[in-house]
Structure 1
Amino acid sequence: MIDHVHDLNAVREATDRLLSAVGTLDNAAVAGPSRLPGWSRGHVLAHLARNADALVNVLEGRPMYTSAEARDADIERDAARPASAHLADLRESAARFQRAADAPADWGRTVALRNGVTDLAARVPFRRLIEVELHHVDLGIGYAPADLPAEFTAREIAFLADRFSGHPDVPALRLEATDGGAWRTGRTEGEPLAVTGTAAALMCWLAGRRDGTTPAPEAGGAPLPVLPPL
């Protein structure tokens, strides 16, 4: 069962961690490369702020973004700002999201996201939590996958496993976390390939991330399957 109130509290806590970390960055650090290919830390921060506003749009019944081109242009426009401007924008956009999410609403309704994706309104706070937590890691400023709350990591694995479930380009997989937890994903036919690693390693692999601090999971000597982009 989705508990949007619980998830909104988790978003507040994760946002506070992010704001504290970003508050230590200077202009040179913001302009430096993130762990996402082709993106500076400024790109990541701009995306986080605009994502908060986009999810306000979702909650209030408007299109998430006016277009994919406008989304990308907004990120490029804002990426080169000084650190102080990024911090202020992150704080203000996060507050706008919290106000929209705190408003009385039917949390069982279906909302529209990007690219024709729909979901329950109650899952929007968790989607925002994913953005805040994973992109905090992507900044490359000392917050690693192993630092993520264990509850979040397990839920993100389950969320991503569900995304890949039945995908024709993903073989049948059994994901086994050495620190607890097991999931199934991929095609439904055939003997599943066991992929093992820490929960953090499994999550990074499913999310298409390599941060240099988390060993890749293993597939029992077989090549680790290449997953399609999310």
Structure 2
Amino acid sequence: MTDHAHDLGCVREATERLLAAVAALDDAAVTESSRLPGWSRGHVLAHLARNADALVNVLQGRPMYASGAAREADIERDASRPPEVQLADVRDSTARFLEAGAAPADWSRTVELRGGVTDSAARVPFRRWAEVELHHVDLGIGHELEDLSAEFTEREIDFLARRFAGRPDVPPTRLTDGTRAWHTGRETGDPEVTVAGSRADLLGWLAGRRDGSALDVDGGPLPSLPPL
């Protein structure tokens, strides 16, 4: 059972780590390219701030974003701000999200996210935790997938494996780190492909952060995954 209060605490801790790391950068470093194609580190920070506000909308029953175009325009608008403004925005927007998460609510209710995706309200804090952890890695400032906690890494692999489960464009796939196995892709059809490697490499491939070249694949080629 998802413990939203625990995950809210993890959001707070992950955000504090990210803010401390970014605060150590000089002004020029914040304008440099991130690991995400076409995005500077400023774009990543702007996205993190606007995503926090978007998830407040989700928790309070409003559309996550006014539109896809508005989401992109807000990120572009905020990407070039001075580092101190970026940091304050991430800090303040996270505080608003944590406040919304602390309000009494029916955490079993279904909420709607971007693109018509639905989920239980209780999983929204974990989704925010994933945003903070993965985008901290995307900043390219020394925080790597190997640095993520064992709890987060296992849960995010499980989350992403479930996300791709049943997809007709993903062959039946077994993922394993040698101690645990996950299954994803369509449930019938071709023989199962086994993809083995470290949890960091499995997560990197599932999340689109690594190309999978470090993984061992048996039973067919490494499956192509749709974008997140």
Q: Report the TM-score when normalising by structure 2.
A: 0.96
- The CA RMSD over aligned residues, in Å, is 1.4
Q: How does 1:1-230 map to 2 (within 5 A)?
A: 1-178=1-178, 180-189=179-188, 190-210=190-210, 216-220=214-218, 222-230=220-228
Q: How many residues align?
A: 227
Q: Residue 217 of structure 1: CA displacement?
A: 1.5
Instruction: Describe the shift of the 1:14–1:215 C-alpha distance in structure 2 as closer, same or farther (beyond 3 A).
Output: farther
Structure 1 distance, partners of 2:86, 2:132, is 14
Structure 1 distance, partners of 2:64, 2:214, is 34
1:114-166 per-residue CA deviation (whole Å, 9 max, x = no partner) reads: 11111110000000001000000000000000000011001001100001101
Structure 2 runs not aligned, ≥5 long: none
Structure 1 distance, partners of 2:210, 2:41, is 16
1:176·1:197 contact (CA, 8 Å) conserved in 2? yes
Q: Residue 191 of structure 1: CA displacement?
A: 2.4
Q: Residue 215 of structure 1: CA displacement?
A: 5.8
Q: Residue 173 of structure 1: CA displacement?
A: 0.4
What letter is aligned with 1:42?
A: G
Percent identical across equivalent pairs? 67
Q: Residue 222 of structure 1: CA displacement?
A: 4.4
Q: Report the TM-score when normalising by structure 1.
A: 0.95
Q: Residue 221 of structure 1: CA displacement?
A: 8.0
Structure 2 distance, partners of 1:25, 1:121, is 35
Q: Residue 75 of structure 1: CA displacement?
A: 0.2
1:11-37 per-residue CA deviation (whole Å, 9 max, x = no partner) reads: 111111111111112221110010001
Structure 2 distance, partners of 1:21, 1:43, is 16
1:79-132 per-residue CA deviation (whole Å, 9 max, x = no partner) reads: 011111111101101111011000111101111111111111000000000100
2:40·2:79 contact (CA, 8 Å) conserved in 1? yes
Instruction: Describe the shift of the 1:96–1:33 C-alpha distance in structure 2 as closer, same or farther (beyond 3 A).
Output: same
1:42-81 per-residue CA deviation (whole Å, 9 max, x = no partner) reads: 0000000000000001111111000000000000000011
2:11·2:128 contact (CA, 8 Å) conserved in 1? yes
Q: For 1:10, what is the secondary structure of its paired residue?
A: helix
Runs of 4+ in structure 1 off by over 2 angstroms are 220-223
